[in-house]
């Protein structure tokens, strides 16, 4: 067991959420489910090596964008695929952020964004930042065009 794991509080739909997340990410699996009758009370699952815990805790708490999951993507295809799948039934937002149908916030960010924004030339980095601020889903090619001026 890893020392620190995200612990997600759901209102009766933890099993649905777990199955949703493991269906989207290739390197994922359910590690355990604790049932009370037919209802999953809690579960542990793994996505890309990161362990998550889920609880059906009831309506007392909800998710906030103050906590989000940052997903580094190597290609535009990966950005596109995760953006569409995770936002299905949720809400697409600005600058690579989205809220899934359970209210969990995600940042779907290509690694190229960080590389371009950390360029030593502040003008190039600034153009990339301005381009990104106009986007919902991040477009790597548009970032590169902004970089090149």
What single string gives the DSSP state of each residue in 1-61? --S---EEEESS-HHHHHHHHHHH-SSEEEEEEEEETTEEEEEEEEETTEEEEEEE--TT-
Distance CA 55, CA 135 (A): 34
Distance CA 47, CA 69 (A): 11
In CATH terms, 63-149 corresponds, of 2.60.40.420, 3.40.50.720, 3.10.180.10, 3.40.50.2300, to 3.10.180.10
CATH 3.10.180.10 location in the chain: 1-61, 63-149
* Largest distance between two CA atoms of the chain: 61
Q: Walk along the chain (149 residues) and give the pLDDT tens digit of each residue.
A: 789 999 999 999 999 999 999 999 999 999 999 999 999 999 999 999 999 999 999 999 999 999 999 999 999 999 999 999 999 999 999 999 999 999 999 999 999 999 999 999 999 999 999 999 999 999 999 999 999 98
For the CA atoms of 4, 6, 8, 14, the dihedral, rounded to the nearest 10 degrees, stands at -90
pTM for this predicted structure: 0.94
């Amino acid at each position: 067991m890893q020392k620190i794991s995200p612990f997600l509080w759901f209102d009766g739909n933890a099993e649905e959420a777990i199955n949703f997340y493991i269906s989207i990410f290739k390197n994922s699996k359910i590690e355990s489910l604790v049932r009370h009758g037919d209802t999953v009370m809690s579960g542990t699952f793994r996505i890309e090596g990161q362990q998550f815990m889920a609880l059906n805790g009831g309506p007392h708490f909800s998710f906030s964008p103050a906590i989000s999951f940052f997903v580094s993507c190597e290609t535009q295809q990966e950005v596109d695929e995760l953006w569409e799948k995770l936002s299905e039934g949720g809400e697409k937002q600005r600058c690579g952020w989205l809220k899934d149908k359970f209210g969990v916030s995600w940042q779907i960010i290509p690694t190229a964004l960080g590389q371009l924004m950390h360029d030593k030339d502040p003008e190039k980095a600034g153009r990339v930042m301005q381009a990104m601020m106009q986007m919902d889903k991040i477009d790597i090619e548009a970032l590169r065009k902004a970089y090149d001026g």
